[in-house]
């Protein structure tokens, strides 16, 4: 259910009372290092633990699960409003409106398939985002079981130039209405281009599909590699067996690690890493978040550690190492360098005052540096964008 609060427009309750409830409560925790929140996309909170407004506008978002960041571009998968917002700059002030709304006829409409307009120009819970070096723009339209491709970032709402995973732009059945194949998807949440290879976290087929020559230009071109299943027609959770170094439960995002890949296997509460790009269905080389490759239990909801994870839905390579959205622990972990085994501890944690804390918004208030179910990450230079899904916003952090 969407949280709606009293303030309208850009005004909020604190402004009318002469105070700013969104201001930091005090000095930043030492665990942040030199990272600080820079700007917020979405509404601010009226105070306390009341969540920001989620009424769709060109400024407000609802449960965003994906974000893309470049020097002069910010794109938000406004998942709960079934649309994508494009900002042709990094906003300089909180709550700035988007320049383009994709997937809805206007900035205030909501609902799957453009509120009934249809899937040809609508979306159903979009998540992953990607812009390729040659300028193509991709959206993982997860619950339509497809990936939308535009030849360039659209300057207005228009239909995609290519649809991957479905026989046509009007088809939306899982696995093209049949059994899994090397050209079909079942809720693909994450997409990535790593060292020229196109990776799709095909979440509910419990696998990762790989096109070694990049994003295909034809929907009938099969993936070259199926990672996590014995063949293209299988979709069993953990291969219908125990947790293993070559299995997934809910693979959600893929990122690079300086020569290979890391997969956020959220359902097994871990990340699996390959030192080199896999050339077939091969087991991972290392694990983060679990004591070994055969464990997939949820780290209990109690004081945490720097290495335990609970539903890590996103990971992204940063200029200095790796960032992980430890979603159910309401924090983002940052490693300096590429962690190579489960014993490597992160250098920083964002959203919590210590590595042991894990409360939603620290059980204090919705502040610029608190988190509630962070789902998506994007990095560019000294910036890190966090899709702070439970707080109905995206927060761009910057390292000083």
pLDDT tens digits, 71-112: 999 999 999 999 999 999 999 999 999 999 999 999 999 999
Q: How far apart are CA 259 and CA 304, in angstroms?
A: 30
**How many other C-beta atoms are found inside a 10 Å radius of the C-beta of residue 400?**
9
Residues 17-33: what's their mean pLDDT?
64
Q: How far apart are CA 372 and CA 33, in angstroms?
A: 20
Residues 337-350: what's their mean pLDDT?
91
CA distances from 25 to 10, 107, 188 (A): 22, 33, 38
- pLDDT, residue 301, reads 61
CA torsion angle for 389, 87, 332, 2 (degrees, to 10)? -10
- pLDDT, residue 49, reads 87
The pLDDT of residue 142 is above 60: yes
Q: What confidence tier does 302 reach under pLDDT thresholds 50, 70, 90?
A: low
- pLDDT, residue 270, reads 97
CA distances from 136 to 154, 157, 188, 196 (A): 10, 16, 18, 13
Q: What confidence tier does 184 reach under pLDDT thresholds 50, 70, 90?
A: very high
- pLDDT, residue 11, reads 31
pLDDT tens digits, 267-285: 999 999 999 999 999 999 9
The pLDDT of residue 19 is above 70: no
- pLDDT, residue 340, reads 86
Residues 50-64: what's their mean pLDDT?
93
- pLDDT, residue 147, reads 98
Say which residues have a Cβ less than 8 Å from residue 248's Cβ, sequence separation at least 6: 206, 207, 208, 228, 238, 263, 265, 267, 268, 272
- pLDDT, residue 299, reads 73
CA distances from 106 to 114, 177, 371 (A): 9, 31, 29
Q: What confidence tier does 6 reach under pLDDT thresholds 50, 70, 90?
A: very low
pLDDT tens digits, 219-241: 999 999 999 999 999 999 999 99
What mean pLDDT is reported for the chain?
A: 91
Residues 122-138: what's their mean pLDDT?
98
Residues 336-365: what's their mean pLDDT?
92
- pLDDT, residue 12, reads 31
């Amino acid at each position: 259910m969407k949280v709606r609060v009293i303030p309208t427009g850009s005004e909020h309750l604190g402004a009318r009372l002469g105070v700013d409830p969104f201001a930091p409560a005090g000095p930043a925790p030492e665990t942040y290092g030199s990272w600080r929140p820079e700007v917020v996309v979405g509404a601010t909170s009226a105070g306390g633990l009341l969540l920001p407004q989620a009424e769709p506008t060109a400024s407000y978002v609802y449960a965003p699960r994906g974000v893309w960041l470049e020097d002069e571009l910010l794109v938000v998968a406004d998942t709960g409003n079934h649309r994508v917002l494009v900002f042709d700059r990094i906003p300089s002030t909180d709550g700035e409106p988007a320049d383009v709304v994709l997937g809805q006829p206007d900035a205030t409409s909501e609902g799957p398939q453009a509120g009934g307009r249809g899937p040809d120009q609508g979306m159903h819970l979009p998540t992953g985002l990607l812009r390729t070096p040659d300028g193509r723009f991709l959206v993982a339209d997860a619950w339509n079981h497809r990936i939308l491709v535009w030849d360039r970032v659209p300057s207005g709402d228009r239909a995609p130039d290519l649809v991957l995973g479905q026989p046509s732009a009007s088809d939306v059945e899982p696995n093209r209405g049949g059994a899994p194949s090397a050209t079909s998807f079942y809720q693909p949440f994450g997409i990535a281009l790593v060292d020229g290879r196109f990776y799709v976290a095909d979440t509910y087929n419990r696998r990762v599909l790989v096109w070694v020559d990049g994003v295909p230009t034809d929907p009938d071109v099969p993936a070259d590699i199926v990672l996590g299943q014995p063949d293209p027609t299988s979709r069993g959770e953990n291969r219908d067996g125990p947790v293993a170094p070559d299995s997934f439960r809910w693979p959600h995002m893929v990122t690079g690690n300086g020569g290979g890949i890391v997969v956020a296997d959220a359902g097994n509460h871990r990340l699996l890493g390959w030192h080199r790009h896999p050339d077939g269905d091969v087991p991972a080389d290392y694990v983060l978040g679990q004591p070994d490759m055969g464990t997939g239990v949820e780290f209990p909801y109690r004081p945490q550690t720097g290495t335990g994870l609970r539903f890590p839905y996103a990971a992204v390579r940063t200029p200095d190492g790796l960032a992980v959205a430890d979603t159910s622990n309401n924090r983002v972990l940052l490693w300096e360098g590429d962690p190579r085994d489960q014993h490597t501890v992160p250098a920083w944690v964002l959203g919590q005052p210590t590595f042991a804390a894990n409360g939603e918004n620290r059980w204090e208030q919705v502040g610029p540096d608190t988190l509630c179910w962070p789902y998506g990450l994007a990095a560019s230079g000294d910036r890190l964008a966090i899709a702070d899904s439970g707080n109905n916003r995206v927060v761009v952090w910057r390292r000083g």
